[in-house]
Chain A
Amino acid sequence: MIEILSNAALATVQDLGRLGSLRFGVGTAGAMDDLALAAGNLLLGNEAGAAGIEIPVFPFKVRFTDDCAFALTGADCGARLDATPLLPWWSHQARAGQVLTLGLPQGAQRASRALLCLPGGVDVPEVLGSRSTQMRGAFGGHEGRALRKGDVLRAAEPERACRTGFGLVPPAVALPLEIGGLIALRVLPGAEYLGFDAASRDAFWASEWRITAQSDRYGYRLAGEVLQPLAPMELRSHGIVPGVIQVPHNGQPIIQMRDAQPSGGYPKFGAVIEADLWRLGQAPIGSRIRFIETRWEEAVAALEQKEAWLAKVARMVALHRSAPMEIAA
């Protein structure tokens, strides 16, 4: 078991999301960096979609009440187990009583969310096919809410022996996508794209966008050029999904994220492709991003590339875990 020792503001239990419930008005939730969650699980020999803990605010501190393997992926937070520094994107072994501390994200590829995975996943009940915390509906995850100091969580397979002490090349290094040192995201033009004037459309692709402080798991509000419609657009509310870029009347885009409500009425300028949502999920508040226009075929290929990376991780980790011990040394 692990006990939360810090005021774990906004840390939540997440899996890969509650898919298939949008028609009931239930949003997807799920890890903002799904690649980090899946990789952390694979490091421990879990199913890629097992539940982990997403940590967006630091410092974050937990005590292991028993011996337990764990994996850290996502943001490199200068983690320590008691006083011992831990490598990021790595599997580790904790002894009973040890305290894990995550500090502020660091490093050249500064990300914003760390993922903590446990053997078998975090043991919380499945609701509507997922263990993700649905904040709006206050269900799923740990009691339908963010974690608090004093909360105790259990690994689903706490006794399972895991080979630890190895890691992965982080996907920000293995699958980089940048323009001029800024995180870049591929975007499919949306249904109302041509309803914006040509100068706005050009500016969208050519300029930098800052992620404002009004950004969270629900959505990222961006600041940059004002995007002007050719004529005011009034739409009825319609279904939207994570990644959709809406432009409200102030002309400053909002990107819907994992906790987005499932419907909205603002014009849709475009959609960040599913394969790049993890990059956006790790982009810190205050950082600047760029957009790259893409096509359906490229978006599908990007998803295949992401899945191929995960398949390679699964294969290499399985091979390493099955090898005699001395290779691990």
Chain B
Amino acid sequence: MKKTAHELREIAGWMAETDIGFLELRMPGATVRLGRRSEEVVTLDDGQRADAQVDGRAGAPDQNPAGLHPDTVTAGSVGVFLHAHPCATAPFVRTGTEVLAGQTLGLLRIGVLLLPVVASRAGTVAALRAGDGATVGYGAPLVDLHSF
């Protein structure tokens, strides 16, 4: 199952074509972590696993990898999209809710982990594109925002 150097270069090549910033491959007996350094995809060793490590790319990730509506917030990871926190019944937002940049619109559940899905800009929620509890892929459209 060990990946050859050739296969890793191939995977790094695929990764370079996307805006994926970090990739972990777990295989029996080995784990490989790929990350970005400037424009390059590099292998990260354990010494680089510090908190809040930031790669060399400037600015926010491209929220628009597939030529979607410019105000669409997309999934930053594979996961399950949640409209409400598991402890709550009320959703974070509904169609028509006015939101500020950085406001939580929903959550992405990845195993036991919950990550926030946040508004890329201030606006009004035009549509929730993924259902509550829907399994979504990387880059899947989650929420459409209209500018004020």
Contact = CB atoms under 8 A, between A and B. Distances in A.
Contacts of A87: 85, 104
Interface string A151-194: 00000000011110111111001100000000000000000000
B100 to A, nearest CB: 11
A83 interface: no
A316 B112 contact: yes
B17 interface: no
A312 B111 contact: yes
A167 B114 contact: yes
Given A45-B51, A326-B60, A313 B35 contact: no
A320 B53 CA distance: 11
A165 B114 CA distance: 9
B76 A329 contact: yes
Contacts of A107: 87-88
A215 interface: no
Contacts of B77: 327
A317 B112 CA distance: 9
Nearest to A107: B87
A327 B88 CA distance: 25
A173 B51 contact: no
A324 B60 contact: no
B34 to A, nearest CB: 10
A89 B113 CA distance: 10
Nearest to B57: A326
Given A313-B112, A327-B76, A322 B60 contact: no
B54 A161 contact: no
A166 B87 contact: no
Contacts of B87: 76, 88-89, 107-109, 170, 173
A188 B112 CA distance: 29
B53 to A, nearest CB: 6
A161 B52 contact: yes
Number of chain A interface residues as a range: 35 or more
Given A109-B87, A323-B21, A328 B115 contact: yes
A235 interface: no
B113 A166 contact: yes
A324 B88 contact: no
Contact of A325 (B48, B54, B104, B118): B54
B61 interface: yes
Contacts of A323: 21-22, 53
A173 B89 CA distance: 13
B85 A316 contact: no
A309 interface: yes
Nearest to B109: A169
B6 interface: no
Nearest to A174: B112
Contact of B53 (A109, A162, A312, A325): A325
A166 B109 contact: no
A168 B114 CA distance: 5
Given A107-B87, A173-B86, A326 B76 contact: yes
B55 A324 contact: yes
A87 B106 CA distance: 12
A156 to B, nearest CB: 16
A324 B89 contact: no
A162 B113 contact: no
A327 B18 CA distance: 13
Contacts of A160: 51
A306 interface: no
Contacts of A163: 51-52
A316 B22 contact: no
Interface string A296-314: 0000000000000100110
Interface in B68-91: 76-77, 85-89
A148 interface: no
A321 interface: yes
A129 B86 CA distance: 36
B147 to A, nearest CB: 20
Contact of A309 (B49, B88, B112): B112
A322 B48 CA distance: 8
Interface of B: 19, 21-22, 24, 33, 35-36, 48-55, 57, 60-61, 76-77, 85-89, 104, 107, 109-116, 118
9 contacts: A45-B51, A162-B52, A166-B113, A169-B109, A316-B112, A323-B22, A326-B60, A327-B77, A328-B115
